[in-house]
Structure 1
Amino acid sequence: MDVDDLASALQDSVSLLARRLRQAATPGELTLPERSALSRLDRGGPSTSAELARAEQITPQAMATTLGGLEQRGLVERRNDPHDGRRIIMSASESGREVLRRKRAAHARQLAAALGSGFSEEELAALAFAVPLIERLAEGI
């Protein structure tokens, strides 16, 4: 098996799946940068705006704008760094975590509907077998 061909096929299929899930957005939902920043705060814990900007590979100004919009809607909270009063630490609020839970649940429902209507038992078993492998692959990148 050619690893380069497999890598290309995986990238194409995973990208298509992610795109299709994102395309199901409804008006008033988070933008992609907002969802990305909020998800990073949810998964990684509190962080400064500068740290988030570096992690997301965007400018500090763009991250400040993104966080400002999230803060106005009550989805993130700011507090002073207890070790350095000049720094501001951002964290996902309970409302922000709830928005992410709803979005993830909606994605899971979409996937379940597609899996339930278009795949055989053997195909479902193959996909179930692939899940931990895909997770391990993602962790190795």
Structure 2
Amino acid sequence: MTEPATIANDLRVVLGQLVRRLRAQRRQELSLSQAAVLGWIDREGAASITALAQRERVRPQSMAATVAALEEAGLVGRRPDPDDGRRTLVEVTPAGQEAIAVDRRDRESWLAAAVAELDEGERRVLVEATALLARIADR
């Protein structure tokens, strides 16, 4: 029951299910890669196409297409890199920030409703488990 490999497998399966349920709450017309890039830029700040491609483990050409779609939708814009005039940085626009906020509210609302169905003891366990998951994620 407490074998690391067994726990790891169960955790992988359950986290996968949770991620799929959270994704299902999305109302936007963005692809998963577009949503991931938009969210990453929002959290980490403006970035070059190359940096975004490395982050998502795709070719720069593929990332350029993803960014172009986001730009066409008005969710990101480009500006010169102040440290290197040859590069441009991709940043989230106000419309992109609003889209992110709506998406996060939708998912958090679903998750909060699910957590509300737990009793107080289960919620305490979930708080403790969340701290452990954060430690694992930071490794």
TM-score normalised per structure 1: 0.90
The 2-side partners of 1:23 and 1:38 are apart by: 18
Match of 1:41 in 2: 41
Q: Does 1:25 align with 2:19?
A: no
- Which stretches of structure 1, 4 residues or more, deviate above 6 A after TM superposition? none
Query: 1:102-117, aligned counterparts within 5 Å?
Result: 102-117=102-117
Bigger mean CA deviation after superposition, 119-128 or 14-23: 119-128
* Count of aligned pairs: 138
Report deviation, 1:68.
0.6
Q: Which runs of 5+ in 2 are unaligned?
A: none
Match of 1:16 in 2: 17
Q: Does 1:2 align with 2:3?
A: yes
Assess if the C-alpha contact under 8 Å between 2:26 and 2:103 holds in 1. Answer: no
Q: 1:112 to 1:83 in 2, by over 3 A?
A: closer
Match of 2:123 in 1: 124
What whole-Å deviation, never above 9, does each CA across 1:58-83 have from its counterpart, x for those lacking one? Answer: 12111111101111122111011123
Letter in 2 for 1:8: N
What CA RMSD, in Å, does the superposition of the two structures yield over aligned residues? 1.4
Q: With CA pairs under 8 Å and 6+ residues apart, which has the higher RCO, 1 or 2? A: 2
